[in-house]
Structure 1
């Protein structure tokens, strides 16, 4: 049996670039990568890539609320990466609150 060829994915019509949309969402609002992904319509990994570029372009105006472990309360304050860590270095728990982002 042959399957139907998949139709090409048509990108969403945008009036702004993806990064401008993310910047406008984050100005004055605290959102996680999952929240941004749902509102902009791209994957979470793409959001993190865009946030890296936004952090460089805005010269430290991007404020990151660090992730924290729900089991022991460890906070990942010194973490440079913007994504969520896999597990806590103290208790090895995987129950970690997602980091959130905002622009001052």
Structure 2
């Protein structure tokens, strides 16, 4: 299938099958916003996490670079601050399909 014929979600899934990436990295590659990448990732999760496929969308959680907090409620989110120490030094989640 040519790249022009693929949907955004297909291109996102293909990119995640190749290498783990953050929403910002994927946004640059796919010409989207990081928040849009996360919305599409929710749908990709549903399609790869079905009984017909043996793949999974895996998410390494966002992590506070100051205190190490990584117990965020919503893994598919771009938190602006750490709920523990209130630092704004929070890394993005990393997504991959295996």
Secondary structure of the 2:73 match is coil
Runs of 4+ with >2 A deviation: 78-81
Q: Contact 2:27/2:33 (CA < 8 Å) preserved in 1?
A: yes
Note if 1:49 corresponds to 2:57. no
TM-score, scaled relative to structure 2 = 0.83
Structure with the higher helix share, 1 or 2: 2
1:55-86 CA-to-partner distances (Å, cap 9, x unmatched) read: 1111171000101101111113x533401212
User: Does residue 29 in structure 1 map to residue 19 in structure 2?
Assistant: yes
Unaligned 5+ runs, structure 2:
50-54
Match of 2:62 among 67, 73, 77: 67
SS across alignment from 2:70: coil
Specify which structure has the higher proportion of strand: 1
How many correspondences in the alignment?
91
**Equivalent of residue 89 in structure 2, options 87, 95, 98:** 95
CA contact (8 A) 2:80 2:88 kept: yes
The structure with the larger Rg is 1
Name 2:52's counterpart in structure 1: none
The question of whether the paired residues in 1 share the 8 Å contact of 2:66 and 2:89 is answered with: yes
Q: Which runs of 5+ in 1 are unaligned?
A: 1-12
